[in-house]
Structure 1
Amino acid sequence: MSVLSSSRRDLLRLAAAAAASAALPSLARAAQRPETYTSGEIVENGHHFFGSISRGLAEGLERANKQWGKPNAYILGQEAGGAFIGGVRYGEGTMFTRNAGQKRVYWQGPSIGFDAGADGDRTMMLVYNLPDVEAIYRRYAGVNGSAYLVGGLGFTALNNEDVIVMPVRSGVGARLGVALGYLKFTPDSTWNPF
């Protein structure tokens, strides 16, 4: 009888170990998915980053949160761009997540459309539905519109499947137009916008 109960215990231990090892990959994926930020946290961080433009930021964020929910990551950085019909944009910054840490990111991308001018911006990008931190490294397409002389605040929405990246730009320059383009996020700096 002790042989039977001993083998039954070994069988139960083996089954428990198999169940635990099967659950580990899904637990690891859940731990990597960034947690969300509240509107107040984003507005506060934006106020520190941009300065006194938090009213426009709060209004834009309210509309975005109604449409896509709460962001689970955001990027603070700077970028520069220029266009005359065709254009390019280059930037760099740090992506912040609540539970998956910080990650340095670079972005670059081409555009084409009725667009002319140049600008240099402080940029905050809100990231919605990011499944894990490595998922940021892909292309996000969208339409960008700019209309400012000297300075301004602009919002754009870019997407790749379910992930939405919403750049909020505040900068200086002269820019007017509408263009179709994409931003490509990379872990390292590159001059290739494609």
Structure 2
Amino acid sequence: MSAWHRPSSRRDLFRFAASAAACAALPGLARANQRPEAFTSGEIVENGHRFFGSISRGLAEGLEQANKKWGRPNAYILGQEAGGAFVGGLRYGEGKMFTRNAGQKPVFWQGPSIGLDAGADGDRTMMLVYNLPDVEAIYRRYAGVNGSAYLVGGLGFTALNNEEVVVMPVRAGLGARLGLALSYLKFTPDSTWNPF
């Protein structure tokens, strides 16, 4: 006798539909919670070249150094941000996080800084994410030391971390900024003005 039988009542039909829906949802839930797969250096440089334009040589050199230290990134974020400082500062940004096997997610970031820092800048930003255990783990605070030294335009690298996860913002933009500051970025799924 077959294990499957045709539903005989409305109650059986609802139970059958609920079981089928639960079974269909399980692969999607497992995929969303699994660790994102790593990207190759070539993929990152190619996407960076499309995003930033002609400055991909500097990106390739910075990526090579980062990969020696942390391995290959398993997510990256493309977006834009703006910041300003006079001793204390603020930075706000928004973008989209890309993963190979867990899809895309919108992300927003904001954070304060304090140090010997003055100026303002607006940047296109690519953030390389290393050791991300799952896509939801991006939504935390990442701290580090941020250095800026450019007039009119430039390309800058920073490394921020929270335990084993490292976020490396690569910024290319316009403005005038000079300084060295302690800072953190807080990543959130929704936009907020609160940097803390």
CA shift digits 1:89-117 (9 cap, x unpaired): 00000000000000000000000000000
SS in 2 for 1:188: coil
Per-residue Cα deviation, 1:118-154 (whole angstroms, up to 9, x for no partner): 0000000000000000000000000000000000000
1:1-194 superposed matches below 5 A: 28=30, 32-194=34-196
Asked whether the equivalents of residues 31 and 99 of structure 1 are also in contact (C-alpha less than 8 Å), the reply is no
Q: Post-superposition shift, 1:28?
A: 3.1
Code of the residue aligned with 1:123 in structure 2: it is T
Contact 1:82 1:117 in 2 (8 A): yes
Separation (CA, whole Å) in 2 of partners of 1:29 and 1:169: 31
Q: Is the 8 A contact 1:29 1:132 kept in 2?
A: no
Kept in 1: contact 2:78–2:97 (CA 8 A):
yes
Deviations 1:56-94 (A, max 9, x none): 000000000000000000000000000000000000000
Task: Give unmatched runs, 5+ long, in structure 2.
Answer: 1-25
Query: Matched residue of 1:168: which SS?
Result: strand
1:22-60 Cα distance to aligned partner (Å, 9 max, x none): xx9xx9379621000000000000000000001000000
Query: Aligned-pair RMSD on alpha carbons?
Result: 1.6
Does the 8 Å CA contact 1:77/1:93 hold for their aligned counterparts? yes
TM-score relative to the length of structure 2: 0.84
* CA distance in 1: counterparts of 2:133 and 2:120, whole angstroms: 34
Report the Cα distance in structure 2 between the residues aligned to 1:32 and 1:99, rounded to whole angstroms. Answer: 8
Q: Which runs of 5+ in 1 are unaligned?
A: 1-23
The match for 1:9 is: none
Please say if residues 122 and 174 of structure 2, whose CA atoms lie closer than 8 Å, have aligned partners that are also in contact. yes
**When the two structures are superposed, what TM-score results if normalisation uses the length of structure 1?**
0.85
Tell me the distance in 2 between the aligned counterparts of 1:175 and 1:182.
18
Question: Is residue 76–residue 124 contact of structure 1 (8 Å, CA) maintained in 2?
Answer: yes
Task: Give the counterpart letter for 1:85 in structure 2.
Answer: V
Matched residue SS, 2:46: helix
**SS in structure 2 of the partner of residue 35 of structure 1:** coil
